[in-house]
């Protein structure tokens, strides 16, 4: 075991990709931090006036070499502006791996997808059905998911924490989405936690070879010493090549986000699973070997 610089004796991954970050407009970042503070007191330490540069500095300080960035519209009609802002941001930030979004209520969704994936070179799409207020099985999205499946582009969907959002569980919808689009490259953010018991994942991962799980916010609730830790460790041991690490920064659980990196290191049973969780699976999802020698 390699000791870290601070002498805690934790393993270190060879690289770090944060596969769940929200760098957005100042207004949306401010709203997000305010929203999360009541359940994540660490975020009292983050100024509501934090700048984009300061957000990027924090990721760099934690050793993050690349990150998946998510910014989605809250209502129909604002997608073009948001995706353009996101593209401009990523143009100035080579470490950002930007995911576009759209709203089920948008017109011309096909044109939005062509613009985002063919012209603006977004990597994939991200949806947050609870905050965006639509179901992933919405008829208006049927063509959209067909298109994503054909293109084999990664699609990240927020799932889980239904009670916190005061919304119905997404377990049945997610299973049905997989049934309808079995070849979809789907990343289930937050792993439907705690709505679906962790023991259910191995069978689903084995059934759907393009299914991935984003452990964001799940790790903290299943950290060593909690009742869920053993089950999560078991899943990491068997399926780390399908799991990614993320922090939801700057509207996540713990801050500084290095606290979450440390939990990941403590949960992983060996170096190989830690490297999978912290960067290798993320590279696989986007189909790019970011750290090729």
Nearest to Zn ion of 18, 248 (CB atom): 248
Nearest to Zn ion of 19, 278 (CB atom): 19
| Structure token digits, residue 71 | 């910014």
Nearest to Zn ion of 10, 186 (CB atom): 186
Nearest to Zn ion of 106, 248 (CB atom): 248
3-state secondary structure of 120: coil
Please, which residues bridge with residue 164 across strands? none
For the bound state, the minimum distance from the C-beta of residue 35 to Zn ion, rounded and expressed in Å, comes to: 11
Nearest to Zn ion of 159, 223 (CB atom): 159
Burial of 82 (0-12, 13-18, 19+ CB in 10 A): buried
How distant, in Å, are the alpha carbons of 18, 129, 149, 163 from that of 24? 16, 18, 27, 26
- Residue number with the shortest CB distance to Zn ion? 248
Nearest to Zn ion of 10, 213 (CB atom): 213
Q: Which of 99, 103, 107, 180 is nearest to 146 (CA)?
A: 180
CA 168 distance to own-chain centroid: 21
For the bound state, the minimum distance from the C-beta of residue 33 to Zn ion, rounded and expressed in Å, comes to: 13
| Structure token digits, residue 23 | 């760098």
3-state secondary structure of 14: coil
User: How many CA atoms within 13 Å lie on the side-chain side of 179?
Assistant: 7
For the bound state, the minimum distance from the C-beta of residue 248 to Zn ion, rounded and expressed in Å, comes to: 4
Determine contact, residues 127/99, Cβ cutoff 8 Å.
Answer: no
Determine contact, residues 160/193, Cβ cutoff 8 Å.
Answer: yes
Query: Where along the sequence are the contacts to Zn ion (CB under 5 A)?
Result: 248
For the bound state, the minimum distance from the C-beta of residue 234 to Zn ion, rounded and expressed in Å, comes to: 25
Nearest to Zn ion of 173, 248 (CB atom): 248
For the bound state, the minimum distance from the C-beta of residue 76 to Zn ion, rounded and expressed in Å, comes to: 21
How distant, in Å, are the alpha carbons of 6, 106, 136, 143 from that of 140? 51, 9, 9, 7
E strand map for 3-95: 17-21, 66-70
For the bound state, the minimum distance from the C-beta of residue 175 to Zn ion, rounded and expressed in Å, comes to: 22
For the bound state, the minimum distance from the C-beta of residue 41 to Zn ion, rounded and expressed in Å, comes to: 18
């Amino acid at each position: 075991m390699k000791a870290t610089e601070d002498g805690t004796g934790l393993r270190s991954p060879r690289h770090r990709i944060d596969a769940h970050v929200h760098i957005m407009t100042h207004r949306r970042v401010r709203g997000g931090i305010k929203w999360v503070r009541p359940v994540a007191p660490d975020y009292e330490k983050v100024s509501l006036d934090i700048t984009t540069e300061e957000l990027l500095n924090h990721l760099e300080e934690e050793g993050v070499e690349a990150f998946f960035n998510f910014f989605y519209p809250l209502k129909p009609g604002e997608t073009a502006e948001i995706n353009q802002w996101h593209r401009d941001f990523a143009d100035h930030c080579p470490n950002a791996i930007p995911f576009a979004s759209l709203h089920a209520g948008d017109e011309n969704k096909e044109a939005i997808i062509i613009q985002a994936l063919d012209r603006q070179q977004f990597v994939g799409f991200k949806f947050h059905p609870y905050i965006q207020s639509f179901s992933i099985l919405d008829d208006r999205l049927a063509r959209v998911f067909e298109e994503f499946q054909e293109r084999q582009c990664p699609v990240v969907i927020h799932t889980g924490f239904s009670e916190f959002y005061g919304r119905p569980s997404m377990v049945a919808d997610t299973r049905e989405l997989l049934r309808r689009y079995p070849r979809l490259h789907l990343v289930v953010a937050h792993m439907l936690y705690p709505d679906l018991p962790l023991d259910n994942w191995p069978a689903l991962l084995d059934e759907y070879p393009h299914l991935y799980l984003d452990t964001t916010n799940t790790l903290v609730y299943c950290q060593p010493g909690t009742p869920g830790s053993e089950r999560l460790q078991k899943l990491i041991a068997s399926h780390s090549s399908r799991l990614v690490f993320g922090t939801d920064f700057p509207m996540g659980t713990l801050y500084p986000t290095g606290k979450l990196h440390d939990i990941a290191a403590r949960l992983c049973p060996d170096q190989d699973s830690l490297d999978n969780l912290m960067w290798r699976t993320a590279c696989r999802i986007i189909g790019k070997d970011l750290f090729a020698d």
